Structure 1
């Protein structure tokens, strides 16, 4: 298959993949091979789990109400 035969979405995906590969080659993970303390790992897991269940932010209506901008 040639580039001229790709759809726009296929071309974008190909470009995205190519850019990610180039970044990974040029900027390797500085933390690769390092370990973290078990308590730090547990803390990160707890943060991730909390974020799965918490709604982030407030609605525009709530902001307007708090600022007294309701009509």
Structure 2
């Protein structure tokens, strides 16, 4: 496929992906040297999974009551 055959959205996606790849090559990840404890990582993954299922935790009303 040639660039001339791409839709505008496909071209934008290609440009975006190319820019991100270039940035990743040029700018080192500042957090790469850091690690987290497995327990903390599990906690973060649990939060992420709850958010994916729509369960965000305690409602604002429950927090206010407490």
- For normalisation by structure 2, the TM-score amounts to 0.60
C-alpha distance 2-50 of structure 1, shift in aligned 2 (>3 A): closer
Are residues 1:6 and 2:2 paired?
no
Per-residue deviation, 1:2: 4.8
Considering only CA atoms, is the larger Rg found in Structure 1 or Structure 2?
1
1:15-54 equivalent positions in 2, closer than 5 A: 15-54=15-54
Gapped runs of 5+ residues in structure 1? 57-71
Distance in structure 2 (CA, Å) of the matches to 1:48 and 1:54: 10
Gapped runs of 5+ residues in structure 2? 57-66
Let me know the Cα RMSD of the aligned residues. Answer: 2.2
Aligned pair count reads 56
Q: Which protein, 1 or 2, shows the higher relative CO under an 8 Å CA cutoff with sep ≥ 6?
A: 2
